[in-house]
Structure 1
Amino acid sequence: MKAFIAPPAKIPFYLKIGIWISKRVTGKDLLPPKLLAWYPKTAISSGILESLVANGKKDLDKRILKLVRIQSSFAVSCPFCVDMNTFEFEKVGITEVEMSSIQRLIDINEVQTFSIREKIAMEYASCISKSPISIPSTLVQELKKNFSEREIVILAATVAQVNYWARLLQGLGVPPAGFSDKCNLKSFSSDIASS
């Protein structure tokens, strides 16, 4: 599987620094930063967006942010995003059973380990990731009851970021990065291609 386009033969030096950083952070030589070199403004703005994402230090905890990223990735059917966002999910305490419920292989209500906040955040992520966006008033009430205004903005921004990457990368035909073998991404990718 290849992207629709190849990276440019010459990549500006200042973008090579960002490519090096992404390789160092992920341990992979990722294709997206190289493709974005065709239009450096997009490469720079995407890098800034990625660097400023909520990371759980002073924001929502890492587990809930990871659950939201994973849920958004599946909701927008982006193999690359699923691959990137499911990588090392167990390091933040997400179990195989929880992953199965996010993939809709088992009913989320059968999983007793999700907190109320996590379930609400994942439902919110699903709603934001659909087109057209439709958020039931009952969900808005639950959000307001369980999250601060700051936390709601962080949730919405996190989901929007995943959606940004999904649309951009799918628009360029970027295949999965090859991180995860635990989510059966091969069949997930073929399911997307057939729909």
Structure 2
Amino acid sequence: MSRIPSVAPEDASPLARIAYRYARRRLGEVPEPLAVAAHHPKIMMATAVHELMAERAVHVVPKALLELAVYRTAWTIGCSWCVDFGTMLMRLEGLDVEQLKHIADFETSEAFTDEQREVIRYADAMSATPMTVTDEQVAALVERYGHDGVVELTDQIALENHRSRFNHALGITDQGFSSGDTCRVPWEVNEPVTTRA
């Protein structure tokens, strides 16, 4: 159960209800981070708009590499919700989900290419506190993906740091997206609460 309860549809603001309907159509269920953020509809909408715009903006770095960097970031921070959701996204994209079982040993595992290792190292360096990104790392990535590609990769890793830290801090845990079975609905676990509009 999250540290802040999810807002049930009957207690949600009109804006949150619209967001819930959209999420259900798109994902099959309402993601718990959305249902928790519904306590503050303006923050919820700002986050949702940012997510949609960022999703539509990526086009330089191969999708598989971006998803791997995002997954590693979630795994490093310890956000089980993001790991669960990221696994589902990779599966739906037709990417190698079996590879994720070896993410802890990416440096030595034959499941990863040198290009993937380079991206994972960058995700690790960005997710460390304090960050450990080097000039050499960025220069090598620029050589491979160009300035726009490095901006794209950096943005996706930074965005996942935001998601993972938000979810982890509020105790939002895996919802069952990666299993392909029915997801746990947030308000079936939490008691409905009233939120401010």
Post-superposition Cα deviations, 1:45-102, rounded to whole Å, max 9, x if no partner, equal 1101110124587332221111111111111111111111111524433251x21221
Deviations 1:138-194 (A, max 9, x none): 322321221210010111110111111111112221111112259xxxxxxxxxxxx
Q: Secondary structure at the match of 1:161?
A: helix
In structure 1, stretches of 5+ residues that fail to align are: 183-195
- The correspondence for 1:131, drawn from 129, 132, 138, is 129
1:94 is paired with a residue whose SS is coil
Q: Give the counterpart letter for 2:108 in structure 1.
A: N
Q: Which residue of 2 aligns with 1:157?
A: 155
Aligned partner of 1:46 in structure 2 is 47
1:89 corresponds in structure 2 to 90
1:71 is matched with 72
Whole-angstrom distance in 1 between the partners of 2:55 and 2:152: 7
1:172 corresponds to:
170
Which residue of structure 1 aligns with residue 16 of structure 2?
15
* Residue type at the aligned position of 2:17: K
Q: Is the 8 A contact 1:54 1:158 kept in 2?
A: no
C-alpha separation between the residues in 1 aligned to 2:97 and 2:163?
25
Q: Name the aligned partner's letter for residue 109 of structure 2.
A: E
What letter is aligned with 1:119?
Answer: R
Alpha-carbon distance between aligned partners in 2 of 1:125 and 1:55, rounded to the nearest angstrom: 21
Distance 2:119 2:106 in 1: 16
Matched residue pairs, number?
177
Alignment correspondent of 1:111 = 110
Instruction: Tell me, yes or no, if the aligned pair for 2:79 and 2:168 is still in contact at 8 Å.
Output: yes
Q: Deviations over 1:113-148 (max 9, x none)?
A: 52x332222211111111111113332232122121
% identical aligned pairs? 20
Pairwise CA distance, 1:26: 1.7
Query: Is the 1:4–1:173 contact (alpha carbons within 8 Å) kept by the matching residues of 2?
Result: yes
Q: Is residue 88–residue 179 contact of structure 2 (8 Å, CA) maintained in 1?
A: no
Matching residue's letter, 1:109: T
Q: What is the RMSD of the two structures over their aligned residues, measured on CA atoms?
A: 2.2
Residues 117 and 146 in structure 1, CA contact (< 8 A), matched pair in contact too: no
Contact kept, 8 Å, 2:61 with 2:145, in 1: the verdict is no
TM-score normalised by L of structure 1: 0.80
| Structure 1 position 120 matched with structure 2 position 121 | no
| Runs of 5+ consecutive residues of structure 2 not aligned to the other structure | 181-197
Displaced runs of 4 or more, over 4 A? none
